[in-house]
Structures are given as structure tokens and as C-alpha cells.
Chain A
Amino acid sequence: MDFFVVQILTGLANAAALFLVASGLSIIFGVTRVVNFSHGSFYMLGAYIAYSLMTVLPGFIGFWASILLTGVAVGLIGLIVELGVLRPIYKSPELFQLVATFGVILVIQDLTLLIWGPDDLIGKRSPGFEGVVKIGDQLLPAYDLVLIFLSFLVLGGLWYLFNKTRAGILVRAATQDREMVGALGVNQSWLFSGVFFLGSALAGIGGAAQLPKGGADLLMDFNILAPVFVVVVIGGMGSIPGAFVAALIISELNVFGVQLLPQSTLVLMFVVMAVVLIFRPWGLFGRPEIVGSHGSQGPPEAPLRAFSGRLWLVLAACALALAVVPLFGGNFLQVLLADVIIACLFATSLHFILGLGGLVSFGHAATFGGGAYAAALMVQYAETPMELALLLAPLAAGLLALVIGWFCVRLSGVYFAMLTLAFAQVVWSIAFQWSEVTGGDDGILGIWPSAWASSTTAYYYLVLALGIGGITTLLFMAYTPFGYALRGSRDSALRSEAIGINVRLVQWSAFIFAGMMSGLSGALFVFAKGSIFPTELEIARSFDALIIVFLGGVQSLFGPLAGGVVFTLLQDWLSRFEYWRLCLGLMIIAIVILLPNGLVGVGHWVRGRFGRNADPLSDAEEEAA
């Protein structure tokens, strides 16, 4: 009995930080409709800043003053992010804001490294609560009770704020209908900034408060992100009681999960999320999202044009140029170009669902890494030849996409994005925790191509053939009735259903098809590198694809190709610098703000300015005439 009480209390204490971070994310999303990816970074900053403050401010009062000051400091940092990064792009489509906050993650990561160094920091014990409390024959750190008290205090405080104060009621009103609140004369800019300050401060306090238990390290930002997303998805976006209940569920689950199934702790919370979403697709306390009720969708896309003769020539010339590279280019260039082609295939497969289908997936790495792991496992355990592995890996990735897609296409918008991310984390945690099979963190090594393809040049040609084949198939599909139906479901699901098209089935099929192509790129990747690690399943990998698509331009079929080339070369060049994440992050933010239509958009602009015939609509009219 005592054992259970202590376990439950431990779970409650663990829930505290999770709840603080999740409620902050929820509040920010509720009002601004921005899914703030950098929220995990604010949590990490909270831990680091509190650590520094606690070394300066001594004693009991110093400890708590540090936590409060950290809240203010992180809130201010959040405010800077809101003013500097998000305010210029509130009118842009949601995806832009997401990518921008991802840029913020990279910047904060490197700044933290720069200021506090690479070593993990161990937090000081909380003065006055260093000891343990005895419950029966079980021991509980006294600080756990403090954390439990703190989370109830914050919950009560937020309840008071949102129900009893004018500012809080305005925020709630804005959550329901921010245009109406604007029409009533409330300054939305202030509201947004205020909410960002509050949400960031909560994340900072969360990071500071867990310091005596968990310390501070550079992986905190991504590590908290997945559980926080799970919590807000289970609880319902924008709901604070939801965040509280869900944080409790997840934390208790973890505590008891460690006792019962120590190998599956990471997967367990995602299973719970999946179960909740089957019965309540908008979370326990969430409301259904009204389609098109928020977020700017951007200007409508121009109709697809048939490939002109000139375009065919350009594409053929590109393929030819790539084919003759080995004649004069060295091994280094061939390896780099193989990377470029793999990245292009990976990104084009994401663009298929994201650009054509409007399904913004944050978890595309699941099928990339899934395909790579499938190929590696087949080679490792069944001595499958490379040729067969390259054939089967896309099927395995497609099967994975079939399962993930079944859950995800039931949702739309932000919920879809969060759920795909969570599923990618499931796949990651399986690869990471099931070390008997996957090798865990050490990965799987020695996965090399067959003898005939083992030279750099031979493998380059293999990547070129399969990569261009895959990309061409994806582009071709855009022109088929299936591709049109996919675009139609993005334009107007209502219309699609009204002409007998099963929108979910179309989206699900597209998800599976894109997953297969992504799996092919993963399989090509694994034979190119000879090894595979769980990092290929990480959030950062999913974001590589997102950034490429975004960089190239979402509204163009060729966007992912342009983006893939530029991004891979840029990354190759930047990674030679020590603080390349900082550069990349700043560059991403700059692109989001300055080039909203991506590289292809710049191309159109240049043609519009200096060339003839740049307006696709006028082309379409000419065609009709």
C-alpha cells in the first residue's frame, strides 16, 4: 500500500514540469494558433538560467527567487522571439510559423552551448527540502512534495487568471474567436505578446523547478518536446485542465510502467495517446477544430500545367549532367550528389502529402528511418541481398505508413501534425529501446551494397537511377486522377465528398505512397552510409524534409528539388563551422521572413520582372483559347 502511495506521489511530482511546459504551449496555441516548437528550448533555458541564478543567490529565499526570476527572464526571451520572429509572419500560412520556431530551436541550442558549455549541469538541492519523507517503510524525496504543491498552485493560479481576471477572460475569448475580440477593440498585438510571455515563463519555471531533480543538459529541448506534444494532444489543444490531467496520466504511466515493463516506457505513452485519439480525436478536453477557422492558407495555388517541351529539355539536361559527373568529378562530389538526390527524394515524398494534400506531417522521418531500418535489419538478420532489400524496404515503410496513416488522416491541421510527430517518436523509441534487435543507440553497422555496386561510382549510378525514378513517379502521380483528388481534398474536402470522393481514403493512400517513397530514400541512405542509427528517426530529420520543402516553395512541384539541392549543399558547407546550428537557424528564420514563396517563388519573381510569361494564370488562359 505504502509502495503505491509513494509511486503515485512520484508520478505527481514528475507531472509538475510536464504540466507547466504543456500548459504554456497550450495557452500560446489557443490564442495565437502557433504551435511553438521552440517551447522545449524555453524549458531548457529555464533550467540553465536557474542554475546560474542559484549559484549567485544563496539560501532558501535565493532558491525561490531564482525560480521566479527565471520565469521572468524566459518570458522576456519568449517575448523577443514573438516580436522578432513571429510577428512579421502571423499572416503567413501555419507552416511558416512552425518552420520559424524550429529555426529558433537551433539558435537557442547553439547559444546555450556557447554560454554554458557542453557539460551536463547538476542542479543544487532545494534548501530546506534536501531530505526524504518516510511514508510507511517507503522513502520519498521531500522536494517531490514541493513540486506537487507547485503544480497545484500553478493550476489554481491559472484557473483564477482565466476565470476571474479581465485579462484572462480576454485570452479565453481570443481562444474561441480572436477576430471577434479584435472587433471589440482589444489590441491583439498586446494580447499575443502577453500570452507568449506567460507561456514562455511557464516553460521557464518548469525547467527551473525540475533542476534539483533532473539538472540541465543540451538534449532537454527535444526530450521534453515529444511528451509535451503527447500531453497537449491527449488533453486537448488549448485546454489547461486537459494539460493537467494528461500530464498526470503520462507521468503515472511512466512511474508504473518502469515497474512493470521497463523496456517499453517510451512507447507506452504513445499507445495511450493513440487509444485516446481513437475515441476522442480532439483530446479529452479539446473541441473539434473548425476547418479553415484559423490560420491563413495563403493565396490559392495556380493550376498544374502540362510539362512543356522546354521543361522536358531542362530536366533531361539535368539528368544528363548528373550522369556524366563521375567522368570528371571525384569520389567526394559523387558522395555529396548522392546525398543531394536522396534528400530530394525524401523531400519530394513529403511534398506529395504536404504540398498536394495539405497534410503537414512532422513525422516524415518515421518512414525514412523505417525504410532504412527495414533494409538494415533484413541484411543483418536474413542476409538479404541489397537488391531485394531495396525492393522490400519501401514496402515495409509503406506498411508502417499504413498503420500511422490510419490514425492520422482522421485528424487535420495541427492535430495531424502533432500526431505524425508522436508516431515518429514511437518508431524512434522502438529503435532506441529495443537494443537486442536494433542495437539501440549503437545502431546497426556494416550494411554495404552488393559487390557490383560497392564502388562509389557504381553506387552513385544506382542512387541516381532509383532516386530519379522515385522522384519522377512522385511527379507523375501529381498529374493522375489520384494526384488531382489529393489536391482536391486539400482545396475543398466538402466538394470532394459531394462528388463521391472518399477524402480519407485518398489521403490515407497518399500517405502510404509517400511513405513508400520516403522508405526508398531511407534504404538508399543506409547502403550509402553502411550504417543506421536512431538519429535518422529523430524530429530533426523530419524537419530536414520540412525545411527543404519549405525552402524550395510549397506551391511548386519542383520546390523540393530546388530546396534539396540548396539545403544539402548549405548543410555540408555550414557543418564545418563549430556553431553551424546557429547559422542554419538564423538562415531559416531569415528565409521564412524574407522569402515566403521559397526559392521557386524567387525564380517566378525574377521571371515576372525580367522575363515574359511569368503568370501561370495567363498561361492557362492562353492554353484555353
Chain B
Amino acid sequence: MSFLEVRNLSKSFGGVKAVNEVSLDLNEGELLALIGPNGAGKTTCFNMLYGQLPPDRGSVKLNGQELIGQTPRRIWRMGVGRTFQITATYASMTVMENVQMALISHHRGVFSVWPPASRRHRDEALALLELVGMENQAGRAASVLAYGDLKRLELAIALAHNPRLLLMDEPTAGMAPKERVGLMQLTADIVKDRKIGVLFTEHDMDVVFAHAHRVLVLNRGEILAEGTVDEVRADPKVQEVYLGGGSTFGGAEGESAEGDLADA
């Protein structure tokens, strides 16, 4: 039994079936990419998994526990971390304090008054920042960070409560091509070390092909194909529907000129 089981997840908006009978499994230490053209239902899926949108039907089980019907807060406490497509961090706090807040919440210290917030869990916070290579920026304000660094900060925050599952909505969106591969490499290493399952959506095929263990292709709310990177690349249905011709798949791994669907 896999530790994340999604069964028959469905959601309609008016008459449009945004997500239709989506089922997937995810194992510990596995990177599963959810790809698909714009409007395929990726974000809707994510929002349902994270409790921000109630599905019409279906179930999401983490280690046998149902996530549907829980608030995002509760789901976070159950060991699910999330990074956002557009970063959400505390602009008026330092990098370090951003991580400290996640640790404070994890240790259930939000409503305590002593010691002051900035003195709590410093070592743990610094260790997390080292993990993502941000330790030398610990004292800077989050509002002055470069976008790539903000993404890395988000990763450190998402790892603060030792999650079993990470949901990453377009983890590399808005980053320079070189940074993208670096960030995903970092994520892949951490995931392997800590046996975290990762479900991520992504437009950059370089990132997907370089790091995903398995790929799930969504189209018009339904699963079109599922398999390893090579299987999906070779699937003629995917080439036709998703790429409308498919020459882009001809590019070798790591060739960003052809591989980047987001920019196409």
C-alpha cells in the first residue's frame, strides 16, 4: 500500500469537469510530477489535496488517514508541507525568523510569551537554512531576497515540521533556467535523504525529465498517461494532445531551448 492514495477525485465548476476521476499513488521518497497543459486541472487537484477546495467526490488518504474535509492547518499538522507557485513569505521578518515561525508553530508555541520569537529554535532554523544553502542570508529581510532565494526559503519553511509529503506547485516558476535545475536537484537530494514523498506540478520539461521518478499527465481534468519519464515521452497520446505535434519531446534532457514548454 502506498502512503498517499488518491481515489476518484472529481470537481466540477458549473458544467466544466475541472478534475474528473483522478486517482494516483505516491510512495515515500518518490518524486511524482503532475504535468499537463494550462487548464488541465493541476492546480484544482492541488487545492483539493491541501484542503483549500472541497472536492465533489473522491478520497485522499495519507497513511490511511482521510485528508478530505480537513482544513489546510490540520493537513499541515498531519505532515504535509506545501510551497506556492507565487511565493508566500513574511516580508517584514528576516529569513531566519521566517523559518523560526514554522518551527514555533510546529512546537505549538504560537501563544507562548517567553522566550522572544527570535531566540527560539535558532539551531534548528539554521540547520534548515544550511540544507537549502541560505545560511549566509539568515539575517536579511525576506523582502529584499532574490526570487530564487525566496523559493529556497519556502523549501526550508516547508521542511520545518519534518513532513512526510511535500506538495510543490510549480516549484521553479519564475526562476532563471540555471537555478531551476539546481533547486530541483536540491529537492531531490533532500527527498531521498528524508524519505519524503513529493508531488509537484511543473511546466519546465527539463526539470520534470531530470528529476521526476514518475510522471502523470493530465488533460481536461482526466489522467491521460502515467509512467516513467521514458514511457510518457514515448506515449503518442501525450505527444499529440499535450504537445500538439510533439517535436519538443525530441530534445534531449537538459536542453532548455527545446524543452521548456512554459516559454513555448
Contacts and interface: CB of A to CB of B under 8 A. Distances in A.
A301 B120 contact: no
A620 B114 contact: no
Nearest to A493: B88
Contacts of A625: 139
A571 B18 CA distance: 61
Given A501-B73, A620-B140, A495 B90 contact: yes
A617 B144 contact: yes
Given A301-B91, A484-B104, A498-B72, A624 B117 contact: no
A501 B110 contact: yes
A490 B88 CA distance: 12
Contacts of A476: 113
B102 interface: yes
Given A482-B110, A488-B90, A300 B101 contact: no
A500 interface: yes
B76 A303 contact: no
B76 A509 contact: no
Contact of A301 (B92, B117, B160): B92
Given A500-B76, A617-B140, A624-B138, A487 B116 contact: no
Q: How large is the interface on B (under 10, 10 to 19, 20 to 34, 35 or more residues)?
A: 35 or more
Interface in B206-251: none
Interface string A474-488: 001101111111011
B27 to A, nearest CB: 24
Interface in A375-392: none
B184 to A, nearest CB: 21
Interface string B137-164: 1111101100000000000010011000
A491 B92 contact: yes
A487 B94 CA distance: 12
Given A495-B89, A497-B73, A624-B138, A481 B94 contact: no
A625 B94 CA distance: 13
Given A481-B104, A498-B72, A492 B113 contact: no
B42 interface: no
A21 to B, nearest CB: 38
B122 to A, nearest CB: 12
B111 A303 contact: no
Contacts of B92: 300-304, 487, 490-491
Contacts of B109: 481
Nearest to A301: B92
Interface string B95-134: 0110001101110011111101110100000000000000
Contacts of B203: none
Contact of B93 (A488, A494, A498, A509): A488
Contact of B118 (A479, A491, A495, A501): A479
A484 to B, nearest CB: 4
A482 B111 contact: yes
B67 to A, nearest CB: 14
Contacts of B90: 487-488, 491-492, 495
Contacts of B102: 499
Contact of B160 (A306, A477, A499, A617): A499
B84 interface: yes
B116 A501 contact: no
Contacts of A623: 139
A302, A481, A483: most-surrounded residue (chain B CB, <10 A): A481
Given A306-B118, A481-B117, A621 B72 contact: no
Interface in B24-78: 71-73, 76-77
Contacts of A498: 72, 76, 82, 84, 88
Interface string A105-145: 00000000000000000000000000000000000000000
Nearest to B93: A303
A499 B98 CA distance: 10
Interface in A280-317: 300-304, 306
A345 to B, nearest CB: 19
Contacts of B139: 620-621, 623-625
B101 A488 contact: yes
A506 interface: yes
A472 interface: no
B58 to A, nearest CB: 22
Which of A300, A302, A499, A509 has the most B CB atoms < 10 Å from its CB? A499
A300 B91 contact: yes
Contact of A500 (B73, B84, B113): B73
Contact of B141 (A302, A499, A502): A302
Contacts of A502: 73
A624 B104 contact: no
Given A481-B117, A620-B94, A495 B88 contact: yes
Nearest to B107: A481
B94 A303 contact: yes
Contact of A620 (B88, B105, B141): B141
Nearest to A506: B110
B77 A500 contact: yes
Best-surrounded residue of B109, B112, B143 (most CB of chain A within 10 A): B143
A213 to B, nearest CB: 48
Contacts of A484: 93, 97, 101, 104, 117-118
Interface in A581-625: 617, 620-621, 623-625
Of A484, A491, A498, A501, the most chain B CB neighbours within 10 A belong to: A498
A487 B142 CA distance: 14
Given A303-B141, A623-B139, A485 B113 contact: no
Interface in B156-189: 157, 160-161
Q: Report the 6 A-B pairs with minimum CB-CB distance, sorted nearest first.
A: A624-B139, A300-B143, A300-B91, A301-B92, A484-B117, A495-B88
Interface of B: 71-73, 76-77, 82, 84, 88-94, 96-97, 101-102, 104-106, 109-114, 116-118, 120, 137-141, 143-144, 157, 160-161
7 contacts: A302-B141, A303-B94, A304-B93, A480-B117, A497-B71, A497-B72, A498-B76
Given A303-B92, A617-B144, A620-B94, 16 more contacts: A300-B92, A303-B94, A476-B113, A481-B101, A485-B104, A487-B90, A492-B89, A495-B90, A497-B71, A499-B101, A499-B102, A499-B160, A500-B161, A617-B141, A621-B139, A624-B138
